[in-house]
Amino acid sequence: MNKLTIILIALLISYQASAQEKERTPIGGRPNIAGDLFLDFGVNFLNNRPDDLNTRLFGSRIVNIYYQASLPIGNNTGFSFNPGLGFGFEKLAFQDNQTLIPNPAIGANSSQIATVTELYDDVARVDKNNVSINYFDIPLEIRYHLNRTNYNKGFRVALGGKFGILYNAHTKIGVTDTSDASQQVKNRQNYGLNPIRYGVYGRLGFPGFTLWSYYGLNGVFEEGKGPFGTEATQFNLGLSVTLF
């Protein structure tokens, strides 16, 4: 299932829920459904990386889709526990038309940096070049709501952790040669990426829109298997839209 399909399903669920609750929900409100369906948009940074592993800001982007239940802690305390699940779709775009390829000196599940123009003959233009890293994620958070009587309204802030399992990784390269012929190649491998990830995150804002950030506590690549033996970790930030 690709990410476009998942997002379309989420939008359909949101539309159906809104239609079912239309008579009971005031204009400008939200359906009376326990929990939130988040659509996150953000950018992906690498911390603690070597200088030769620079990434492009706008090419290194993120789309997450998470459903989180809402379990109040106590009676009108303002606190809730919000467990969830969902998918994280991340891209890394390296500068200077660099990409990941396997490192035969280490083994199949490994990677090193190579320039696209070294991999393809007669390249006039690099049209696309990124690494996709896709996770199944389990976010868990404690949320505080300033409106203690209605958790669907008012400002709120959350702190939590996220555990993810890598289920797909691939590079996608598109080039055009000097005869104006184009080709696009997708190479699906793990490239030494860590099969799990875990870290901490925070959200703050209102039920419809929130700002969020995530700090990874383990390496993006398995020890000794990434480019230059990197121990880089993730730092993400962005904006969330609550579909319901």
In a domain, 108, yes or no: yes
Domain that holds residue 155: 37-242
In a domain, 209, yes or no: yes
Predicted pLDDT at 95 = 93
Number of domains in the chain: 1
Whole-structure pTM value: 0.85
User: What is the percent of the chain where pLDDT is above 70?
Assistant: 86
Count Cβ atoms below 10 Å from residue 82 Cβ, excluding itself: 19
User: What is the percent of the chain where pLDDT is above 90?
Assistant: 78
What average pLDDT does the segment 116-135 reach? 94
In a domain, 74, yes or no: yes
Predicted pLDDT at 152 = 87
In a domain, 28, yes or no: no
Predicted pLDDT at 124 = 92
Q: C-alpha angle 107/216/36, rounded to 5°?
A: 120
What average pLDDT does the segment 21-41 reach? 64
In a domain, 22, yes or no: no
Q: What CATH number does residue 112 fall under?
A: 2.40.160.20
CB distance 70 to 80 below 8 Å: yes
What average pLDDT does the segment 111-118 reach? 94
Q: C-alpha angle 197/201/205, rounded to 5°?
A: 145
Count Cβ atoms below 10 Å from residue 145 Cβ, excluding itself: 23
In a domain, 21, yes or no: no
Rounded CA separation 225/195 (Å): 12
In a domain, 9, yes or no: no
